[in-house]
């Protein structure tokens, strides 16, 4: 008899722990929903990275080609500008997919914090689509900046320093672009009436 009572108390205590855990999870999600959605979006976009790399790489190479006045050629898994003054290669590492992932996640977080419960589904889809040309434009600017820096610094610096310059060109281009897009979107969401 005593063993049955202890078994019943054990089951009740486990159900109580499960109920507490469920309530705690609900409270956490209700309090931190924008952050949860942004983290999930970031993770899903990282999983889709290989598909996004190809799309963004082609789009960025096309925009770079418009500026250079020549069309890129696809060879060996990268886009090459062979007929221009600059010898430019746009590879998978130059696709801008990390910038796209950060920008999309940040703007979705902003949407959920500034516009609770108003058009979230359409907003997420619109932001994911809108971030593609923004990323391609910013990435094309980074590619051109990197190519110009390379052409100037190539005779004077070692390959290690050239790699550092390439990284710095990305930081100089992507960080201000991220801040400008975020500030503009935040201002727009705060000053536009909800529908």
Q: How many CA atoms within 13 Å lie on the side-chain side of 154?
A: 8
The reply to whether 4 and 63 lie within a common domain is: no
Structure tokens at 84: 């221009």
Question: If you ran DSSP here, which 8-state letter would residue 14 be given?
Answer: H
The reply to whether 147 and 76 lie within a common domain is: yes
The reply to whether 49 and 128 lie within a common domain is: yes
- Phi and psi torsions of 90, nearest 5°: -110, 105
Quick one: pLDDT at residue 13?
A: 52
Q: Would you give per-residue pLDDT tens digits along the chain (195 residues)?
A: 555 555 454 445 555 555 767 777 777 776 777 787 888 888 888 888 888 888 888 888 888 888 878 777 777 777 776 555 556 777 777 788 889 999 999 998 888 888 766 677 788 888 899 999 999 999 989 988 888 887 777 777 787 887 788 888 888 999 999 999 999 988 888 887 665
Query: What is the distance, to the nearest Å, from the Cα of residue 86 to the centroid of all Cα atoms in its chain?
Result: 28
DSSP strand E in 53-157: where?
73-75, 78-81, 88-90
The reply to whether 53 and 26 lie within a common domain is: no
In terms of residue numbers, what domain contains 27? Answer: 1-31
The reply to whether 69 and 18 lie within a common domain is: no
Quick one: pLDDT at residue 9?
A: 46
The reply to whether 114 and 185 lie within a common domain is: yes
The reply to whether 26 and 96 lie within a common domain is: no
Quick one: pLDDT at residue 182?
A: 92
The reply to whether 24 and 44 lie within a common domain is: no
Residue 45: Cβ within 10 Å count: 21
CB of 88 within 8 A of CB of 96? no
The reply to whether 100 and 133 lie within a common domain is: yes
∠ CA 162-165-168, nearest 5°, is: 155
Instruction: Report the predicted TM-score, pTM, of the whole model to 2 decimal places.
Output: 0.76
The reply to whether 77 and 143 lie within a common domain is: yes
Closest CA to 140 of 62, 82, 79: 62
Structure tokens at 157: 């610096």
CB of 62 within 8 A of CB of 78? no
The reply to whether 18 and 78 lie within a common domain is: no
Q: How many domains are contained in the chain?
A: 2
The reply to whether 4 and 54 lie within a common domain is: no
């Amino acid at each position: 008899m005593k063993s049955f009572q202890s078994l019943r108390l054990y089951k009740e205590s486990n159900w109580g722990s499960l109920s507490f855990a469920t309530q705690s999870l609900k409270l956490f999600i209700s309090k931190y929903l924008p952050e949860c959605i942004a983290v999930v979006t970031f993770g899903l976009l990282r999983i889709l990275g290989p598909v996004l790399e190809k799309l963004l790489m082609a789009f960025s190479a096309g925009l770079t080609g418009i500026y250079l006045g020549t069309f890129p050629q696809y060879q060996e898994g990268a886009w090459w500008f062979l007929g221009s003054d600059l010898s430019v290669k746009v590879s998978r590492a130059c696709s801008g997919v990390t910038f796209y992932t950060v920008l999309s996640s940040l703007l979705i977080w902003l949407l959920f914090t500034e516009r609770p419960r108003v058009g979230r589904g359409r907003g997420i889809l619109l932001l994911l689509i809108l971030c593609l040309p923004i990323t391609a434009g910013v990435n094309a600017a980074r590619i051109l900046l990197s190519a110009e820096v390379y052409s100037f610094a190539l005779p004077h610096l070692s390959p290690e320093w050239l790699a550092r310059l390439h990284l710095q060109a990305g930081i100089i281009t992507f960080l201000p672009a991220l801040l400008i897009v975020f500030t503009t979107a935040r201002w727009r969401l705060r000053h536009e009436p909800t529908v």
